[in-house]
A and B are shown apart, each in its own frame.
With several copies, the nearest count.
Chain A
Amino acid sequence: MDRILTYAEAIREATVQEMTRDPSVIVLGLGVDDFKGLYGTTRGLQDEFGPERVFDTPLSEDGMTGVAIGAAMAGLRPIHVHIRMDFVLLAMNQIVNMAAKARYMYGGAVSVPIVVRSIIGRSWGQGPQHSQALHALFMHIPGLRVVAPSTPYDAKGCLIMSIRDDNPVMFIEHRMLHSQRGHVPSDLYTVPFGKARVLAKGSDITLVGISYMTVECLRAQRYLGEVGISAEVIDPVCLSPLDIETILTSVKKTGRLLVVDSGWTVCGASSEILAQVAEHTQGTPQIRWQRMGFAPVPCPTTKNLENLFYPNAQTVASTAFAMVHDNQRSWTPVHKEAPEIVEFKGPF
């Protein structure tokens, strides 16, 4: 049965259903038990499953990541939640040196089925240390899965997949996605890793949006439609492994690729996607490609600079328009701030 849920509700539902099904699933992280419930994604879980399976942690990201890894080695399936991905930088040693490598360096003797949920992104002046999207750092490391679903449907299915997967999974949620609504089946289902989704069909240009940028790409697609440009919008959903085939098929059709990341571009997801497409299409002179992402600076706090820091539907549409017109013409749709950005003022 399909219902309309928010992305946050979808995450919560996936968690509840998996915890009900499998007693080895536990949830830990700063604030997972509090009344704000991490944007509602963990609200009420502790009442339902008790303080042994759902617990707040001390402020010890490095140590608690290690605790999750050890618990996973003992057969649990911990979901470790971080309200901001910036804090995961404290846990890089455990994630990269241990979680990603344990199975390999122990010759297959252990599994580390942890899910590291972390929230990225913009909203209400989060500033340089509270808004980073560092998925590229994890894509670089073999042994990690990296998923960044953008719809409630995929949020639920990917989270269930991530919990059941026997490997460490970095599960990435953009704060501006939590309020997005969409159809979500009530039963349990998995969304497989490594399958991209075509969210809108088009013939003139392929827009690949990462995480929240899919929302902005879909808006851009509508703007572009108004000026007669047909954009195809693809959501990779999973960044590692990456489904380059779906992107390639589209690019071969449209001849143009614009990758829009919710992160920095240098050594980023957008550079990887562009590089793979370029490798696979060399010798096809008509293909054009470009990347967009954060400005190459730390994120400023003040609103007027923050607006310039992030790509948005208008800048995406405008860039796509120029690409389609071989940079011979330019156009920008009227700027409308995204409702979710206007509305969000916390809670943090």
Chain B
Amino acid sequence: MLDKLYRALYRIRRVEEEIARIYSTDKIKSPTHLSIGQEAVAVGVCEALRSTDVVFGTYRGHACYLAKGGDLRKMIAELYGKGTGCAKGKGGSMHLIDVRAGVMGTSAVVGTTIPHAVGYAYAMRLRRQDTVVVSFFGDGAIEEGVFHESMNFAALRRLPIIFVCENNSYAIHAHQLARQPASNIVERARTYLIPAERIEDNDVLRIYGLVKAAADEIRSKQSGPRFFECMTYRWKEHVGPGDDFDRGYRSISEAQPWFANDQLKRLESLLGPQVRERIMGEVEVEIAQAFQFAESSSFPAEEELYTDVFGEAAQWTAS
């Protein structure tokens, strides 16, 4: 397990570092939100899921996409705007999807995918499938009314969903306490009688363990939703590849404990050097290939402007 978690963390970190590096070349022509520092949440959660389980994420969605098994080559191609991208280049970094891997989409409008996850869970329950659905969102998203509407319905119908709040204390440059009267998002969930837990330290093993237990319980007991508020920290600026500790809205001293508690380093230290190096090597090859794939792919043909607007239910048009 440790090596799987390590690989997942390392892979996401390195992919995003590469994205950050390449960003200045303008090959990626779109706003891009990095998860560096927050990978433990996506990894802890997604490793605890089955491949048939489903996740919905946000515009800060690289980690969630990759952790859940999304195709790396298609992701990089998507960022490059290539026709081989997971959304044919039409979506870009903020609209990743990989249905095969159970990544059902990420969206640029805050909060919008939360009810989708609930609706997906509704369908799973109706169909008596034991899929567990996860909804990822930030500490800002919970200020949108739809968050409450979604929790209320999920709790009312006892749906198989795990809500995961990635609380990095900021929405763009505004601290949580400048937007909410208290830092108590778990409490909101509890008023819907949803069992809710706050994990303070970005601990990937703890997240993994708790989510695994929750998913098992949802599956075995058909119990209702669960909620996790995962405290974490964004190392980079809100959007783009740079650092922004000099911009006045947060201090590097606030970040230091999070740097020190880097889950990647932590697992690194728990693994033997051989395992580590094998994983690093494999991942680096994969990443190089993915960027190579993106580079060498073509932009979508001009006709693609007009495709994918509507789909046809071919089986019915005859009737």
Using CB atoms and an 8 Å cutoff, list the residues of chain A in contact with chain B: 26, 30-31, 34-36, 52-53, 56-76, 78, 86-87, 90, 93-94, 97-98, 102-111, 113, 124-130, 142-143, 145, 164-167, 188-190, 295-298, 300-305, 308-309, 345-348
Residues of B within 8 A of A76 (CB): 122-123, 126
- Evaluate contact between A305 and B305: CB separation under 8 angstroms: yes
**Among A189, A295, A304, A346, which residue has its beta carbon within 8 angstroms of that of B31?**
A346
**Among B54, B104, B153, B248, which residue has its beta carbon within 8 angstroms of that of A35?**
B248
**Among B88, B109, B308, which residue has its beta carbon within 8 angstroms of that of A93?**
B109
Shortest CB distance A229–B (Å): 27
- Evaluate contact between A58 and B26: CB separation under 8 angstroms: no
Q: In the complex the two chains form, what is the Cα distance from A295 to B150 in whole Å?
A: 34
Top 9 nearest A-B pairs (CB, nearest first) are A66-B115, A70-B119, A63-B149, A125-B30, A302-B81, A70-B116, A107-B88, A74-B123, A60-B149
- Evaluate contact between B117 and A305: CB separation under 8 angstroms: no
Q: In the complex the two chains form, what is the Cα distance from A90 to B305 in whole Å?
A: 27
**Total chain B interface residues with beta-carbon distance under 8 A:** 83
Q: Mark B140-182, 1 if CB is under 8 A from A, else 0.
A: 1101111011101100100000000000000111100011100
Using CB atoms and an 8 Å cutoff, list the residues of chain B in contact with chain A: 26, 29-31, 54, 56, 81-82, 85-92, 94-95, 97-99, 104-105, 107-127, 140-141, 143-146, 148-150, 152-153, 156, 171-174, 178-180, 239-240, 247-249, 299-300, 302, 304-313, 316, 319
- Evaluate contact between A106 and B97: CB separation under 8 angstroms: yes
Residues of A within 8 A of B116 (CB): 66-67, 69-70, 73, 98
Residues of A within 8 A of B110 (CB): 59
| In the complex with contacts A53-B126, A56-B178, A86-B109, A302-B82 CB distance below 8 A | yes
- Evaluate contact between A98 and B112: CB separation under 8 angstroms: yes
Residues of A within 8 A of B111 (CB): 59
Residues of A within 8 A of B309 (CB): 103-104, 142-143, 296-298
- Known contacts A67-B118, A73-B120; 10 additional CB pairs below 8 A are A63-B145, A67-B122, A70-B120, A105-B87, A108-B307, A109-B87, A125-B81, A129-B108, A189-B319, A304-B81
Can you spell out 17 A-B residue pairs with CB atoms less than 8 angstroms apart? Answer: A26-B126, A35-B248, A59-B141, A63-B145, A68-B119, A70-B56, A70-B123, A76-B122, A98-B116, A105-B90, A124-B29, A143-B310, A188-B319, A302-B90, A303-B299, A305-B302, A308-B302
Residues of B within 8 A of A111 (CB): 311
- Evaluate contact between B97 and A129: CB separation under 8 angstroms: no
Instruction: Find the residue from B98, B111, B300 having the highest chain A CB count within 10 A.
Output: B111
Q: In the complex the two chains form, what is the Cα distance from A64 to B122 in whole Å?
A: 11
Closest to B111 in A: A59
Closest to A308 in B: B305
- Evaluate contact between B97 and A62: CB separation under 8 angstroms: no
**Among B95, B145, B312, which residue has its beta carbon within 8 angstroms of that of A127?**
B95
Shortest CB distance A316–B (Å): 18
- Evaluate contact between A98 and B239: CB separation under 8 angstroms: no
Residues of A within 8 A of B119 (CB): 66-74, 78
Give the total number of A-B pairs whose CB atoms are below 8 A apart: 275
- Evaluate contact between A304 and B87: CB separation under 8 angstroms: no
Q: In the complex the two chains form, what is the Cα distance from A258 to B111 in whole Å?
A: 40
Q: In the complex the two chains form, what is the Cα distance from A71 to B31 in whole Å?
A: 29
| In the complex with contacts A74-B123, A297-B306, A125-B97 CB distance below 8 A | no
- Evaluate contact between A64 and B86: CB separation under 8 angstroms: no
- Evaluate contact between B112 and A60: CB separation under 8 angstroms: no
- Evaluate contact between B112 and A166: CB separation under 8 angstroms: no
Shortest CB distance B284–A (Å): 27
**Among B26, B118, B143, which residue has its beta carbon within 8 angstroms of that of A59?**
B143
Residues of B within 8 A of A189 (CB): 319
Q: In the complex the two chains form, what is the Cα distance from A128 to B112 in whole Å?
A: 14
| In the complex with contacts A58-B180, A59-B144, A348-B126 CB distance below 8 A | no
- Evaluate contact between B112 and A71: CB separation under 8 angstroms: no
Instruction: Find the residue from A34, A36, A65, A298 having the highest chain B CB count within 10 A.
Output: A34
Q: In the complex the two chains form, what is the Cα distance from A129 to B180 in whole Å?
A: 26
**Among A52, A86, A304, which residue has its beta carbon within 8 angstroms of that of B300?**
A304
Closest to B117 in A: A70
- Evaluate contact between A301 and B115: CB separation under 8 angstroms: no
**Among A36, A78, A129, which residue has its beta carbon within 8 angstroms of that of B107?**
A129
Shortest CB distance A266–B (Å): 13
- Evaluate contact between B126 and A60: CB separation under 8 angstroms: no
Instruction: Find the residue from A68, A129, A309 having the highest chain B CB count within 10 A.
Output: A129
Residues of A within 8 A of B145 (CB): 60, 62-63
Closest to A59 in B: B143
